[in-house]
Amino acid sequence: MNDWFYGGTAAGKAMYALWPIANALAKDLDDGFMKTFANLLLIPASQKYRAEKKEA
């Protein structure tokens, strides 16, 4: 189900588009909740490989 959602839907693509913004905000603000949101809640760890491919 995660592979389909994060790899094949517009909502999943939107999550990946938001991830670098949320990640940068977490670093800039040094906000614990934003770090958790960006690193754990927005995109599950099992799907991070997709984001890492796009960054490279």
Contact indicator for 50, 13 with CB cutoff of 8 Å: no
| C-alpha closest to that of 19 among 9, 30, 49, 1 | 49
Supply the pLDDT for residue 28.
Answer: 92
Q: Residue 1: helix, strand or coil by DSSP? A: coil
What is the residue range of 37's domain?
2-55
Contact indicator for 20, 47 with CB cutoff of 8 Å:
no
Residue 10 — very low, low, confident or very high, per pLDDT cuts 50/70/90?
very high
**Domain count along the chain:** 1
| Virtual torsion, Cα 30, 34, 5, 50, nearest 10 deg | 0
Q: How confident is the model at residue 55 (pLDDT cuts 50, 70, 90)?
A: low
Residue with tokens 């490989």: 49
- pLDDT computed for residue 54 by the predictor: 61
